[in-house]
Amino acid sequence: MTKELTIKALVLREIPMGESDKLITVLAKDMGKLLISCKGVRNIKSHRLSSTQLFCYDEFTLTEKDEKYYLKEAALIENFYSIREDIEKLALAQYVLQVTEEVSIEGEYDNSVLSLVLNTLYMISSSNKGLKHIKACFELRIASILGFMPDLSECSVCARKTPPPFFLDIEGGNIICKDCMSEISDFDAWKYADLSAALFLAVRYVISAPPKRVFSFNLGSDEDVKFFDLCERYLLTHLEKDTFDTLKFYRSLGL
């Protein structure tokens, strides 16, 4: 049986098919990750050409048949066009989309992921916040949404709720006080991050702030560098990834 449905979705990936078709991967509200077959959209005369490109957030009208989706119409909501005008913004936005596609599963959805990605693309395209700051906040927040939120409530060894500084156990997702850390014999700098009072507050803010306020804080320059490193390591560790192709490209720009 064939049925028609309308969804709002963000284009995460596009693959050319034949002379004028493409297959797009989207993240859809209330549906999650979908593959959509788009006939004729690469034709220069197609009115759907601009609406099926990477970064586009659209209202799609689809035909579903045998659990496969085919594009009927696409109405553009937002294309984050300015991202395409800056190579550094483009590199970061591509990384955001690749991470999102990696963690999204067909048949499952969490609208908070879509909300975070849209807010991140908006920040990249139009905010005066630094790209490294935006990247770090995205990494820590999406890790938290995926179920890897760090537990900052107490030392995981002695249960003391002492004020910072602490150490963040990157793999365990919890904190260890300085006294307990001093007794760990196999200390590995990659596995732990030193949380000063400022970094502790920054991590706590990112994992708990309202969705549209995730990026709205500042750190000093010295603490910024540590925060950027911490967030990238945290996400890659919990996704069990060494890196992403898009992350390599982002780094190749000296970012």
What CATH number is attached to the domain comprising 48?
2.40.50.140
Whether 193 and 74 map to the same domain: the answer is no
So what's the pLDDT on residue 222? Answer: 86
Nearest CA-CA partner of 230 in 158, 143, 124 = 143
Number of domains in the chain: 2
Kindly tell me if the per-residue pLDDT of 2 is higher than 90: no
Range of the domain at 220: 86-151+165-252
- Distance, in Å, from the CA atom of 83 to the CA atom of 161, rounded to the nearest integer, reads 43
Q: In this predicted model, what pLDDT tens digit does every residue of 4-30 receive, in sequence order?
A: 999 999 999 999 998 999 999 999 999
Kindly tell me if the per-residue pLDDT of 186 is higher than 80: no
Query: Where residue 44 falls among pLDDT bands split at 50, 70, 90?
Result: confident
Kindly tell me if the per-residue pLDDT of 184 is higher than 90: no
Give the SS3 label for residue 87.
Answer: helix
Whether 33 and 93 map to the same domain: the answer is no
Out of 40, 55, 78, a domain closes at 78
Please give the share of the chain, as a percent, with pLDDT higher than 90. Answer: 81
So what's the pLDDT on residue 119? Answer: 97
For residue 55, tell me if it sits in a domain. yes
Kindly tell me if the per-residue pLDDT of 162 is higher than 80: no
Q: In this predicted model, what pLDDT tens digit does every residue of 51-61 receive, in sequence order?
A: 899 999 999 99
Amino acid (1-letter code) at residue 1: M
Nearest CA-CA partner of 113 in 142, 144, 78 = 142
Contact 48, 17 (CB under 8 A): no
So what's the pLDDT on residue 190? Answer: 79
Whether 216 and 100 map to the same domain: the answer is yes
Phi, psi of 41 (to 5 degrees): -75, -15
Whether 175 and 109 map to the same domain: the answer is yes
Which residue carries 């593959």 as its tokens? 35
In sign, the C-alpha dihedral spanning 175, 181, 187, 190 is positive
User: Angle of helix 131-143 relative to helix 221-238, nearest 10 degrees?
Assistant: 40
Out of 58, 78, 98, a domain closes at 78
Q: In this predicted model, what pLDDT tens digit does every residue of 115-141 receive, in sequence order?
A: 999 999 999 999 888 999 999 999 999
Query: Where residue 224 falls among pLDDT bands split at 50, 70, 90?
Result: very high
Whether 45 and 108 map to the same domain: the answer is no
So what's the pLDDT on residue 142? Answer: 98
Contact 119, 109 (CB under 8 A): no
**What token pair was written down for 3?**
């049925």
Whether 140 and 194 map to the same domain: the answer is yes
Whether 237 and 216 map to the same domain: the answer is yes
Whether 20 and 99 map to the same domain: the answer is no
Query: 40 in the Ramachandran plot: left (φ > 0), alpha (ψ -120 to 50) or beta?
Result: left
Give the mean pLDDT of the chain.
Answer: 93
- Arithmetic mean of pLDDT, 199-211: 96
